[in-house]
Chains A and B, each alone.
Chain A
Amino acid sequence: MDFLLEGIVAAFRLIVGLDQEVYAIVFLSVRVSVLATVYASLLGIPPGVWVALHQFRGKGALLLCLNTLMALPTVVVGVFMYGLISRRGVFGELDLLFAPGGIVLGLTALIVPLVMNLTIAAIHATDPRLVTTCRALGATGFQTSWKVVQEAGFAVIAAVVVAFGRVISEVGIAMMLGGNIRGYTRTITTAIALETSKGEFALGMALGIILLLVSAGVNAALFLLQRRQRW
């Protein structure tokens, strides 16, 4: 048990001591996670709202497909994206492999189905009278969708937060597409895996605590939003 305690103490020393390497890793992790979440939100929320508000042939099959994609193992996404962005791949010329851009692309692909599916669930959970009210008051399709998103607010934000939580704690894609290059593509999770395997338990623990703090910060923000949106 001692080594665990020592690890925690060392972790606080690293955090308080403003260790440059630790902060570079944290900054990169947060940057790629935020970018992937923003892109996935832009790609997942509007089609999610559209699917939720419309009835069309094949909707059931689409929902089934999205549910399946939500449970997709990250290494499968990693392998698929590797095939696309490696030198021989379709996007090989973009030089995204072993670069932060590659990690962002992979993480985005991972969470788009998640964001879309949770958005659909959030919109389906709103009061059925809401859409009728918007339409009856003369709203256009876009105005209705925007109002529905506003009314479903907290649930849609929760979808985004869940997606952020998924990418910030993701290790398979970051390792396969980023390559865990020190000072360039090393994220919190890949660093934890590496340092722990090297026996650098304190650094691994410090990064783990930082990861927890980031998650706690995001959840606190969500809690505050929830309180604000209560009415």
Chain B
Amino acid sequence: MVNRRMKHHKRKSSPQRHRGRREEQENNVKKLCFSIASSPHRPVAKHGRFADSFSYSLCSLRLCGESFQTRKWLPTMNNAYNLDDVAFSYGTSQVLFLERIEIRPGEMVAVVGPNGSGKTTLLHLLAFVEPPSSGSIRFFGEECSAAKRLGFRRRVGLLTQNPYLFRGTVMDNVQWGLKIRGVTAARRHELALEALRSVGLAGFEARRARELSGGESQRTALARILVLEPEVLLLDEPGNHLDRESVQLTERIVANLNRKKGTTVIFVSHRASDVDSLAQRVLHLHQGRLDGNHAPARLVPLAR
């Protein structure tokens, strides 16, 4: 058996072998790129077996002197969001106008600004719960239209400042998003338990949602979103009504999601410490317009 393999190897000449390996590596990269292009919302680690060989193949191709940039099949990575001339009006009064915002996949962005500057409206637009009055929003390269809004909405999780919990138990609340997506009861239960455990609410399944404290409600709402595994997580002042411990737990969960699953996180916060510790970039809104787009350190005084 071993001899036969050796013979087989010997049959191939050295340059042929080298070309074969290079083709294989190139194919691996090509497959991974197409896999990412066809479903860009999935983290790289989830793109199957091609992902494992990605780094190796990339290095090998570079060593082979191949120029990546000249390859036509190589797709460009899409931004999580591209906002162009987006405006939102309540009746005749315009509350938000944003010329251009780009948010990259896996980025952690803080949105700061005084009350009434349009932060919550911006999050609602990014969550696709409200359509803009005018302008264009592209989500992972796809233009948002009425037909695509529901599909986009299902890829985004929005945690509001004071979340609404449905009537019923904590478990009913956490399972609802899965239920409307047609997930089976057994799987729903399993995923909901896992989500509740991740937010420190194990054992709360049978508790009435309306009997929970502020922090527990917030964490139930977070579990209700996490169970859906969103690609983008939008948080509207999540720590506003919470004690220090709950804030730290929420921050830890969000940071873990971003690091481990590559979830894009956009959060509104008034706390300079949140902005400082979590954000890679800060968008400063003032009277519905973008007043700054900087690294956190420069904007911490503004956030304060």
Chain A residues in the interface with B (C-beta under 8 A): 127, 129-130, 132-133, 135-140, 143, 147, 150-151, 153, 229, 231
Report the nearest B residue to A150, measured CB to CB: B167
Interface string of B212-225 (1 = CB under 8 A from A): 00000000000011
Complex CA–CA separation, A151 to B210 (angstroms) = 12
Shortest Cβ-Cβ A-B pairs, 10 listed: A138-B154, A129-B164, A136-B158, A137-B177, A135-B129, A133-B164, A143-B180, A231-B208, A136-B129, A138-B153
Interchain CB contact under 8 A, B129 and A231: no
User: For the complex, is B157 an interface residue (Cβ under 8 Å from A)?
Assistant: yes
From residue 139 to 161 of chain B, which have CB atoms closer than 8 A to chain A? 150, 153-154, 156-158, 160
Complex CA–CA separation, A130 to B210 (angstroms) = 14
Complex CA–CA separation, A151 to B181 (angstroms) = 19
Q: Which residues of A contact B167 (CB under 8 A)?
A: 150-151, 153, 229, 231
Interface string of B257-284 (1 = CB under 8 A from A): 0000000000000000000000000000
Nearest chain B CB to A86 CB, angstrom units: 47
Q: A132-B124, A132-B129 are in contact. Are A138 and B160 (CB under 8 A)?
A: no
Report the nearest B residue to A136, measured CB to CB: B158
B interface bracket (residues with beta carbon within 8 Å of A):
20 to 34
Q: Which residues of A contact B168 (CB under 8 A)?
A: 231
Interchain CB contact under 8 A, A138 and B150: yes
Interchain CB contact under 8 A, A231 and B210: yes
Q: Which residues of A contact B176 (CB under 8 A)?
A: 137, 147
Interchain CB contact under 8 A, A140 and B160: no
Q: A143-B180, A231-B210, A231-B211 are in contact. Are A137 and B228 (CB under 8 A)?
A: yes
Complex CA–CA separation, A139 to B181 (angstroms) = 8
Interchain CB contact under 8 A, A133 and B163: yes
Complex CA–CA separation, A169 to B228 (angstroms) = 50
Specify which of B124, B129, B166 is in contact with A151 (CB 8 Å cutoff): B166
Total A-B pairs, Cβ < 8 A: 53
Complex CA–CA separation, A132 to B176 (angstroms) = 14
Nearest chain B CB to A183 CB, angstrom units: 47
Q: Which residues of B contact A136 (CB under 8 A)?
A: 127, 129, 153, 156-158, 160
Nearest chain B CB to A147 CB, angstrom units: 7
From residue 171 to 221 of chain B, which have CB atoms closer than 8 A to chain A? 176-177, 180-181, 208-211
Complex CA–CA separation, A41 to B300 (angstroms) = 56
**Which of A136, A138, A140 has the largest count of B CB atoms less than 10 A from its CB?**
A136
Interchain CB contact under 8 A, B164 and A140: no
Q: A136-B158, A138-B153 are in contact. Are A127 and B224 (CB under 8 A)?
A: no
Report the nearest B residue to A126, measured CB to CB: B164
Complex CA–CA separation, A197 to B35 (angstroms) = 84
Interchain CB contact under 8 A, A127 and B211: no
Interchain CB contact under 8 A, B164 and A127: yes
Nearest chain A CB to B157 CB, angstrom units: 7
Report the nearest B residue to A154, measured CB to CB: B167
Interchain CB contact under 8 A, B208 and A139: no
Q: Which residues of A contact B127 (CB under 8 A)?
A: 136
Nearest chain A CB to B144 CB, angstrom units: 14
Report the nearest A residue to B127, measured CB to CB: A136
Other than the given A140-B150, A231-B167, 7 more pairs (CB < 8 A) read A129-B162, A132-B129, A135-B129, A136-B129, A137-B176, A138-B153, A231-B210
Q: A129-B162, A130-B164 are in contact. Are A138 and B180 (CB under 8 A)?
A: yes
Complex CA–CA separation, A153 to B167 (angstroms) = 10
Report the nearest B residue to A153, measured CB to CB: B167
Complex CA–CA separation, A133 to B177 (angstroms) = 10
Q: Which residues of A contact B153 (CB under 8 A)?
A: 135-136, 138
Interchain CB contact under 8 A, A138 and B177: yes
Interchain CB contact under 8 A, B210 and A140: no
Report the nearest A residue to B158, measured CB to CB: A136
Nearest chain B CB to A59 CB, angstrom units: 14
Nearest chain B CB to A126 CB, angstrom units: 10
Complex CA–CA separation, A136 to B224 (angstroms) = 11
